Each structure stands twice: as structure tokens, then as C-alpha cells.
Structure 1
Amino acid sequence: MAEQYGFYVDTSRCIKCWACQVACKQWHGIKANTVARREVKETVEGTFPNVKRKFESLSCMHCEKPACFGACPQGAIEKRADDGIVTVNLEKCIGDKSCAEACPFDVPEFIERDGKTVMDKCDTCLSIGRNEDGNPHCVAACPLQALHFGPLAEMAKLAAEKGGKQMEGETVPSVYVS
């Protein structure tokens, strides 16, 4: 593989405005109350009056060795050699949900498309084209620049500057958070 790409989420900047989620749905033509390719999650630590809230905008982790890839009986899930992005070949997908069972991050969701059920997940806007800067539309929509996309080494550097780290998981996610 040439160079793995991934995301960095700066939780000190994310305010849970959902602009990334809305942009994703809008650009991909995803109807409300259906699948969510990107989701802002909230964690709360501490007790009153010392409560800390943290927001993370997460999607497919584009793992180093994706469990979904190995679980797909049709070989519909692919990891691109040039950037490590995990994609779904909808022509091959039979919607049996084995990928969802295998994913440790509970990412794959399923939609009806052309009369059949298929897996749906973030493809970093490869299917619709990224913005003029080469970013997925969720990154471009973030008003506080809390969401970043690029070569994993650059995401690691951004995270390190904020005391962040790579998300943990047995499949080695391509996402850093601080």
C-alpha cells in the first residue's frame, strides 16, 4: 500500500453542531432518519460540578486490517492499495450483514438500493467526489476545523500536538482523536 489515509478529530474544537453529519447526508443524498455514514458521539466524564463533555465525529475507521473485509463472503469489501480507504462494491454486496457482525466499531448499516439490501458506510466521498481541496465534504463543512483528513502520518502529527492518540482497536483504526 502506498500511504494510509485517515481522520483526526480534535475534540477540543468539536461543539456537536452536526455540520459534518448534515453535509454527509446532503452530499450523498441520504434521507433523514436512515443510515448515518458519520455520527457525532458524546462522552461524559466526572460528576457535578466537575463534568467534562467530549464530542467525536466518527465514521468508518478504514482499519489497517478491516475485520469486515475478511468477513464478507462475496468479497464486496475492498481496501484500496493507494490510500487504504475501505470501500464497498455494491454490485457484489448481498447484504447478509456478516460485515456488521465482524466490525468492532459497529459501523456498517444497510439500505435498500436498486431493489436489494446493501451495506452503506463512509467512503471518504470517493463515490461522489471530494471538494476542491481533496477533503471529504464532512471535513469541509466543519465550521471549527475539528475534523481533518489526510495521510495518517499527518493525522498522527496533528493529534500529537494536542496530546491525542490513535483510537484503539484490534483492527488498528485509521483515526486519531485528542
Structure 2
Amino acid sequence: MARMKFLCDTERCIECNGCVTACKNEHEVPWGIQRRRVVTINDGVVGQEKSMSVACMHCSDAPCMAVCPVDVFYRTEDGVVLHDKDACIGCGYCFYACPFGAPQFPQTGTFGQRGKMDKCTFCAGGPEADGSDAEFEKYGKNRLAEGKLPMCAEMCSTKALLAGDGTALADIFRERVVRRGGSGAEMIGWNTAYGSGEQKRQQTRGGDK
């Protein structure tokens, strides 16, 4: 059985925000809600800038599910983590538990009155009938029920953002790394995490003068 996942290739992401716009347009996401966003580290540093498209990662062991006091979260057969807005009490526990900042709350209410939580649904709708008006109004379009992948990944111009079965995504990414010349530890980002020998020597000397 497929386990649906997202994967963002930081070597390909160009920070165009096309995925963010595609998501908002497809689901008519309310103002102030960001189901997907692009995060950039080392912004403006030549050769070190990296961008990544981030949303709900539909975790296999989702922390939001663990902390929700009213059990609004559930997992589909495809491994997609969805939620029932009708049961949500707006406590915000999921927001604090999620390491990706995926749960979103309307900005119109006063403190302590967060309203119904909203997040990325992997374009899989919600507990309402597939394709119904009620489902679209609460959760957006159900593309998975139509045999389609999430719109954010479909619209990525550089194919940095991938969506689909986790095993297939891992195979695609592995092939990309091999084509880039990576091997051994480099395939899992060793040099990115710890730096090459030359980089370490430069750091010891205080870097380039």
C-alpha cells in the first residue's frame, strides 16, 4: 500500500513560490492561512543559500495526533493525515507540537479563540463526501479522489517538490544524487552537514580573508 509523502529537493528549489500560489488558488485558502510556504536559509549568501517548500509532512507518527485532546486527526489508507474541522475546538496544541508549523489558525479571533484549525490535506479533502460542496468549502479540492497528485507538486517548475508514494520518491531522489556525482556518505548529505576537509581547514583559519 502506498504511503503518500512530500519531498523537496533543495538543489532544485528556486524560491519562486509557485507551489504556495498553486495551493492557495486550487483550494481557495482563506486570507492569512498558509498551508504551504517556502523557507530559505543563508539568504543572500552566495553559494550557501538553500530554499525548501514546507507544509504538513503527513508524518507516520504525527505529533499533532498525539496531543489533540479531542482526536480530530485521522490517517487515511494512503498515510495522509487529515482532520475533522467540525470536531476541532481551536486549542492550538497541534500548532505547538508540529515541528513544521503546519497547523494554521485564522487571524481574526481574539487570543484564546483561535477558531478551526486548517492545514495541508495533501489535496485529499476531509471527512465529508468526496467531491462534495461541503468538502471543498472546509478542506479544499480532493485531487487524490480524482487520481491526481497535489497541485503544489504538479505546478513546481523545476520539479524540486515531489509528491507521491514515499518509496518511489526515495528512488527518484537517490537517482538524482547519483547523477550529481554523489556516492557513499555524500548521498545522505555528509559534506552538507559536516563540511569537506578544505571547508574545515578554512573554518579553523577563520575562513577566507
TM-score range, shorter chain: 0.7 to 0.9
| Counterpart selection for 1:129 from 136, 142, 147 | 142
Whose strand fraction is larger, Structure 1's or Structure 2's?
Answer: 1
Say how many residue pairs are matched: 160
Structure 1 partner of 2:154:
140
**Secondary structure at the counterpart of residue 19 of structure 2:** helix
CA distance in 1, matches of 2:17, 2:188: 23
**Secondary structure at the counterpart of residue 106 of structure 2:** strand
TM-score (norm 2): 0.69
Q: Deviations over 1:107-126 (max 9, x none)?
A: 2111279x981111100111
Structure 1 partner of 2:98:
103
Structure 2 partner of 1:174:
none
Higher relative contact order (CA 8 A, sep 6+): 1
Gaps of 5+ in 1: 167-178
CA distance in 2, matches of 1:74, 1:108: 15
CA distance in 1, matches of 2:47, 2:161: 24
**Secondary structure at the counterpart of residue 105 of structure 2:** strand
Structure 1 partner of 2:198:
none
Q: CA RMSD in A?
A: 2.6
Q: Deviations over 1:103-155 (max 9, x none)?
A: 12222111279x98111110011121228661111111112221111111011
Structure 2 partner of 1:176:
none
**Secondary structure at the counterpart of residue 118 of structure 1:** coil
The letter for the 2-side match of 1:91 is D
| Counterpart selection for 2:70 from 59, 74, 84 | 74
Matched, 1:150 2:148: no
Q: How does 1:1-80 map to 2 (within 5 A)?
A: 2-32=1-31, 34-44=32-42, 51-80=47-76
**Secondary structure at the counterpart of residue 157 of structure 1:** helix
Q: Deviations over 1:68-96 (max 9, x none)?
A: 0011111101111x111111111111111
CA distance in 2, matches of 1:104, 1:154: 24
Matched, 1:161 2:175: yes
Identity of counterpart residues, as a percentage? 32
Q: Whose Rg is larger?
A: 2
How far the C-alpha of 1:56 sits from its partner, in A, is 0.7
CA distance in 1, matches of 2:168, 2:9: 13
The letter for the 2-side match of 1:139 is A
Whose helix fraction is larger, Structure 1's or Structure 2's?
Answer: 2
Q: Is the 8 A contact 2:105 2:114 kept in 1?
A: no
Gaps of 5+ in 2: 126-140, 178-186, 190-209
CA distance in 2, matches of 1:60, 1:143: 21
Structure 1 partner of 2:194:
none
Q: Is the 8 A contact 1:156 1:165 kept in 2?
A: no
Q: Is the 8 A contact 1:40 1:55 kept in 2?
A: yes
CA distance in 2, matches of 1:108, 1:8: 19
